[in-house]
Amino acid sequence: MEDTITGQRIGYTRVSSLDQNLDRQLDGIQIDKTFADSASGKDAQRPQLEALLGFVRDGDTVIVHSMDRLARNLDDLRAIVRVLTARRVRVEFVKEQLTFTGEDSPMANLLLSVMGAFAEFERALIRERQREGIALAKQRGVYRGRQKSLTAEQIEQLAHRAAAGESKSALAREFHISRETVYQYLRGRADTVASQ
């Protein structure tokens, strides 16, 4: 009798801020390998999701805590699930208790769309409440905004070293900021110098 080959159980986790905990998302679930991204909802670059898509094989199961961890909007969610199930990879969402195999009933596909739409709507409400909270805090004069990653002295040092030709990527790593943040600091400093 031929042994049935079962694929790997592969976890995918994503946090949108440094204070969120990746470990809690799939706590207590048996996983063979995990791919984890730390990216904001606005960041389209999710290298570990790309790595997962390149890694999975026929018979594998991808396990995700919730739909909003896999995709930022309904279109992305449906596209990713479609790509995975077309390759005969099962997709399980723990929070929603839903599994998709590619041979799903019309009701399962409807649930994917409805639950995904609710997750997208919920994120939009959270963003709206954050904007309203910031606006109210500004009116009261208590909103300070996000703290700068670098001090004025560090920004000065960064600008001098960048002007001397040092790699922006190397500077970003050394100062523990993204390359985009390096460019923002350099643009901001150039604007300040130009206005003096």
Residue 16 annotated to the active site:
yes
Q: Provide long-range contacts, Cβ within 8 A and 24+ apart, for 45-53.
A: 46/14, 48/12, 48/14, 49/12, 49/14, 49/80, 52/10, 52/12, 53/80, 53/83, 53/84
- pLDDT at 57 (0 to 100): 94
C-alpha torsion sign, points 77, 78, 80, 85: positive
Residue 147 lies in a domain: no
Same-domain pairing of 23 and 110: yes
State whether 104 and 159 are in the same domain. Answer: no
pTM of this prediction? 0.59
**Looking at the structure, do residues 63 and 114 belong to the same domain, yes or no?**
yes
Report pLDDT digits (tens) over 56-92.
999 999 999 988 888 878 888 888 999 999 999 999 9
Q: Rounded to whole angstroms, how far apart are CA atoms 100 and 98? A: 7
Position 192 scores a pLDDT of: 60
CATH number for the domain spanning 73: value is: 3.40.50.1390
- Residue 19's pLDDT band (boundaries 50, 70, 90)? very low
What is the residue range of 26's domain? 9-119
**Within a domain: residue 4?**
no
Average pLDDT value for residue range 139-157:
78
Nearest to 57 by CA among 83, 35, 89: 89
Asked, for residue 136, whether it belongs to a domain, the answer is no
* Residue 176 in domain: yes
Q: Is the residue at 144 inside a domain?
A: no
In a domain, 3, yes or no: no
Residue 4: predicted pLDDT: 47
pLDDT of residue 27: 77
Q: Check 16, 38, 149, 178 and give the catalytic one.
A: 16
Where helices occur in the chain by DSSP H, the ranges are 47-55, 67-70, 74-86, 106-140, 152-163, 168-175, 179-195
Find which of 53-62, 143-152, 160-169, 186-195 is predicted with most confidence, using mean pLDDT.
Answer: 53-62
Residue 93: pLDDT band by 50, 70, 90 thresholds? very high
Residues 22-57: tens digit of each pLDDT: 556 777 788 899 998 876 555 557 899 999 999 999
> Quick one: angle between helices 152-163 and 179-195, nearest 10?
100
Phi-psi category of residue 26: left, alpha or beta, with phi > 0 → left and psi -120 to 50 → alpha: alpha
- Mean pLDDT confidence for 153-168: 88
